[in-house]
Structures are given as C-alpha cells and as structure tokens.
A = this chain, B = another copy of it.
Amino acid sequence: MEALFSVDALRWFTEAVFQQMGYAADEAASAADVLLKADLRGIDSHGLARLPGYVRLWEAGRIRVNAHPRVVYETPSTALVDGDQGLGLLVAPYAMRIAIAKARQAGTGWVAVRRSNHFGIAGYHAMLALQEDMIGIALTNASPLVAPALSLERMLGTNPIAVAIPAGEEPPVVIDMATAAAANGKLEILQRKGGKAPLGWIQDAAGQPTDDPFALQKGGALLPLGSRPETGSHKGYCLAALVDILSGVLPGAGFGPWVPPFVHFLPLPQDAPPGAEGIGHFFGAMRVDAFRPAEAFKTHMDSWIRRFRGATPVDTAEPVKIPGDPERAMEAERRQRGIPLHQSVVKALKDLSARMGVPFPAPVLQ
C-alpha cells in the first residue's frame, strides 16, 4: 500500500511545484524543507500529503505568492507580524527569525502573527532556535475540529504546542504535540486502513464517545487531550484555548470557530468579528544564557535526559523516551531508506504533477 521515494527526488518535486506557483528558487526550497522535515520525522499527515492542499488554497486565491510579510509593531522583546496572506511555510520562519533576533538583543523575543496560512509542523519552526543556543517555541491555531469539554460544537483546532530545548552532548528535547487527544492525521490513517479508533479520540454528533474514525465527517468532533471530564478533558481544552488566544486573539487573527479552514472547499466563516483575519501563529525564542551560562544549563540538560532515559520502565522492552526521541529515530531511518508514501498520497501527487506540469519521481527499488 506504500511506495518508497528518495528524499532528494521528493524535495526536487516539491520545490518545482512551488516554483510553478510562482515562488523564487530560494522560497520554494525553504517551503519544501518544512514539508520534507515532516515526512522525515514521521509526521506523515503534515508532509507531502499536504502539498495538494496548499496548491488548492493558492488556486482559490487564499494564498498570495507575492505576499510581503512585515513587522507592523514592535518593542524590544516583541513584534506583531502581518503575514499578508502569504504561505505559512514561509511566513513562519520569517517570524521565528525575528523572535531569534530580538532574543539576541533583549534576552527573549516573542512574535505574534496574523493573516497567515497553515505553517506545516510546529516543531520545524521551534527547532530554528536550537543552533543559537535558544529555547524555541511555536504555536498556531487551526481549522476548528475539536469540541471543548462539555461542548457539542467544534470550536478549536488541534492547536499544537512545539518547544525545542538545546542540550550538550545529548540531542535536544523537542516537544511537538497537538492539544487534542489525537490529531486528525491519526484518524486519517485509520480511515485508510479501516480500523476502529480508541475510545477517547472522538465524540459523535450527539457528543457521545465513539470508535468510528469517520465520526468527524458525520458531525462529530475531536476530543481535547484528557478525553473525558473525569480524566481532565477540561485541561486539554485549556491548552487549546491558550494556543488559540496567543496565536489568534493576540495578533488579531481569526480565532475559535472563525479560523479559516485549511481545506478550500469548506466556506470561510462569514460572521467573524471585524479585524480577526487569517490563521494566527505565536513564536518565542529565549536565550539560555539570558538566565545562566549556557554550558551549565546544557550539563544539567544532559543529566535530565540521561536520568529520564534511565527511568525504570513498566516493560523492559519499552524504555522511557525523551520528547523528540521517536521523531529523531524515524528521521535517521528515513534519511537512509527513503520516505514511504501511501498509495492515496501518491495518487494525489500524480494528479498534482499532471496539473502543474512537474514530473513525479519513480519510487526507489526496495
């Protein structure tokens, strides 16, 4: 059901598609890098599988190729960026670099972004801070698919939280998590395979627990992390709300049920409050040595990582991991072997290839 492709060939294809949309070579390379990183790290829902979606948004006039994101207001440690309806894959690194530059001067930098679009995996942008010995933070709101605790209505996105923290000899700690019990991409995998969803991921149109992975298409909703009121679904709701407020309300982007959906065939919300436009993001960068010497911090991070990896596991066959371990292992494997794409993704990319006049690569021999 899957075919394996070379990383370089997929990168070439993706860059060519973005160039056909009108992006310059360096912009196309930058945007493609975000998508490829998702596939490399095993977050298949946010990689090449999303490329046709970006093209459809562009065709629908919701992504502007000649956008000029800009800083519209700033203080020593903050900035407000207007994304000018640009591609989130480009707006986000632009904004993150401003946060990093602010942190160099003021110790920390915080950038809220309005009028943007889907920015790929949050972890990519947070990790940009690592090479500067900074802690990186990236948040975004997203299409409303999640029901708050006690709600029948879908009001929030899967609103991810990504934080990247440098270490010394050990690899960095990289958190990149949806604030829903499970992200929509996991449901899509079950839909393709025909399995049942674990109870706790979704509710049906009556607000009751269900294991039907198609419940979302039947008026159901994703559940916040915590799943049920008695196991803390109000906490997952709080986290998703926090991401929505920092990413959406703070910059003046769409928020709550008024976030413009990623899929172009869903209508844009008509009753959004004035001055709440596009998808919003929030980025942070904190210089480690704005608190104490970086080497002392990194030595303790190495201790943290080793102690947690060495924690007594429930099952000796499954050692305790640190955040980022699974994605790092996957990236090492896929850089060697190549990236597997499901046949439905390959079909969509071949359709895109024909429409855009960009040849799609052949799979590698296995």
Interface residues of A (CB under 8 A from B): 73, 75-78, 80, 105-108, 110, 112, 135, 148-153, 155, 161, 163, 165, 173, 175, 177-179, 181-182, 198, 200-201, 203, 206-207, 225-228, 230-232, 234-239, 241-242, 244-246, 249-252, 255-257, 273, 275-276, 286-288, 290-292, 296-297, 299-301, 303-304, 307-308, 311-315, 318-323
Q: Kindly list chain B residues whose C-beta atoms are within 8 Å of the C-beta of A230.
A: 198, 200
Q: Write the chain B residue with the least CB distance to A307.
A: B256
Q: In the bound complex, do residue B256 and residue A292 qualify as a contact, i.e. CB atoms below 8 Å apart?
A: no
Among candidates B200, B234, B238, B297, residue contacting A250 with C-beta atoms closer than 8 Å: B297
> Which of A105, A198, A308, A321 has the most chain B CB within a 10 Å cutoff?
A308
Establish whether residues B80 and A77, one from each chain, have CB atoms under 8 Å apart when the complex forms.
no
* Chain B residue contacts of A290, Cβ below 8 A: 75, 77-78, 110
Complexed CA–CA distance, A28 and B312 (Å): 43
A275's closest neighbor in chain B, by CB? B296
A311 to B288, CA, bound (A): 41
Task: Report the minimum CB–CB distance from A154 to chain B (whole Å).
Answer: 9
* A206 CB contacts on chain B under 8 angstroms: 314
CB distance from A246 to the nearest CB of B (A): 8
Contacts of A308 in B (CB 8 A): 148, 155, 241, 256
Q: How far does the alpha carbon of A257 sit from the alpha carbon of B286 in the complex, in Å?
A: 25
A226 to B201, CA, bound (A): 11
| Nearest CB of chain B from residue A94's CB, rounded to whole Å | 17
Q: Is the CB of A242 within 8 A of B163?
A: yes
Is A177 in contact with B286, judged by CB distance below 8 angstroms? no
- With beta carbons under 8 angstroms apart, the residue of B178, B226, B300 that contacts A276 is B300
A236 to B175, CA, bound (A): 11
Rounded to whole angstroms, the CA-CA distance of A105 and B76 in the bound complex is 8
Do residues A76 and B77 form an inter-chain contact, with CB atoms below 8 A?
yes
Using A150-B321, A226-B227 as known contacts, list a sample of 20 further A-B pairs with CB atoms less than 8 Å apart, ordered by residue number in A.
A75-B287, A75-B290, A76-B107, A77-B107, A78-B291, A149-B321, A150-B314, A150-B318, A151-B312, A152-B312, A175-B238, A181-B231, A181-B232, A182-B232, A225-B232, A225-B235, A227-B232, A249-B304, A257-B307, A273-B300
A78: which of B227, B246, B286 is its contact (CB, 8 Å)? Answer: B286
Given contacts A77-B290, A238-B177, A242-B163, contact A319 B232 (CB under 8 A): no
A225 to B235, CA, bound (A): 8
Cβ–Cβ < 8 Å partners of A236 in chain B? 225
Chain B residues whose C-beta falls within 8 Å of the C-beta of A163 in the assembled complex: 242
**Chain B residues positioned under 8 Å from A148 (CB to CB):** 308, 311, 320
Q: How far is the CB of A156 from chain B (nearest CB, A)?
A: 9
